[in-house]
Chain A
Amino acid sequence: MAEKVIYAMYDDDDVLKDGAKLLVSKGVKVSDVFSPFPIHGIDPIIGVKNTRLGIMAFLYGITGTLLATIGMRYIMIVDWPMNIGGKPNETYLDNILAFIPVTFEFTVLCAAHGMAITYLLRNKTLPGMPAQNPDPRTTDDKFVIELKLSENTQFTEDELNSMLKQTGIIEIDQKEIN
Chain B
Amino acid sequence: MEFKVSNKANRLTLILMIVGVLFTTIGIVSNIGEHNLVQRIMANGLINGFFFFAIGLGALFFLALQYATETGWYASVKRVIEGVAGFLPYGMGLLGAVLLIITFLDGAHIYLWMDKAYTTPGNHHYDEIIDGKSAYLNPIFFWIRTIVYFTVYFLFWKGFRNRSLEEDRVGGTEIHFKNYRKSATFLVLFAVFSSSSAWDWIMSIDVHWFSTLFGWYTFAGMWCSTMTVLVLLTLYLKKQGYLPKVNENHIHDLGKWTFAISFLWSYMWFSQFMLIWYANLGEEVVYYMTRIDHFKFMYFGMFLINFAFPMLLLMSRDAKRHAGVLTIVGVIIIIGHWFDVYIMISAGSLGAKAKVGFMEVGMALLAAGFFIRMILKNLTKAPLTPVNHPFLDESIHHEV
Interface residues of A, Cβ cutoff 8 Å to B: 40-41, 84-87, 97-98, 100-101
Contact = CB atoms under 8 A, between A and B. Distances in A.
Contact of A85 (B270, B273, B278, B399): B278
A113 to B, nearest CB: 20
Contacts of B399: 40-41
B280 interface: yes
Nearest to A58: B315
B280 A97 contact: no
8 contacts: A41-B399, A85-B278, A87-B280, A97-B273, A97-B277, A98-B278, A100-B270, A101-B274
B192 interface: no
A79 B170 CA distance: 73
B300 to A, nearest CB: 12
Interface in B272-300: 273-274, 277-280
Given A87-B280, A97-B273, A97-B274, 5 more contacts: A85-B279, A86-B280, A97-B277, A97-B278, A101-B274
Contacts of A100: 270, 274
Contacts of B277: 97
A65 to B, nearest CB: 13
Contacts of A97: 273-274, 277-278
* Overall SS of chain A's interface: loop
A40 B279 CA distance: 49
A63 B278 CA distance: 27
A32 to B, nearest CB: 22
A34 to B, nearest CB: 22
A13 to B, nearest CB: 14
Nearest to A98: B278
Nearest to B400: A40
A108 B67 CA distance: 32
Nearest to A41: B399
Contacts of B273: 97
Contacts of B274: 97-98, 100-101
A96 B280 CA distance: 15
A87 B279 CA distance: 10
Interface in B240-280: 270, 273-274, 277-280
Nearest to B273: A97
B78 to A, nearest CB: 23
Contacts of B280: 85-87
Nearest to A50: B317
The 10 closest A-B pairs by CB, nearest first: A97-B274, A97-B277, A85-B280, A85-B278, A41-B399, A98-B278, A40-B399, A86-B280, A100-B270, A100-B274
Interface centre among B270, B273, B279 (most CB of A within 10 A): B270
B170 to A, nearest CB: 32
Nearest to B279: A85
Nearest to B274: A97
A136 B226 CA distance: 49
Nearest to A84: B278
B318 to A, nearest CB: 10
A97 B277 CA distance: 8
Contacts of A85: 278-280
Candidate in A97, A98, A100 with the most chain B CB atoms within 10 angstroms: A97
Contacts of A84: 278
Contacts of B279: 85
A86 B278 CA distance: 9
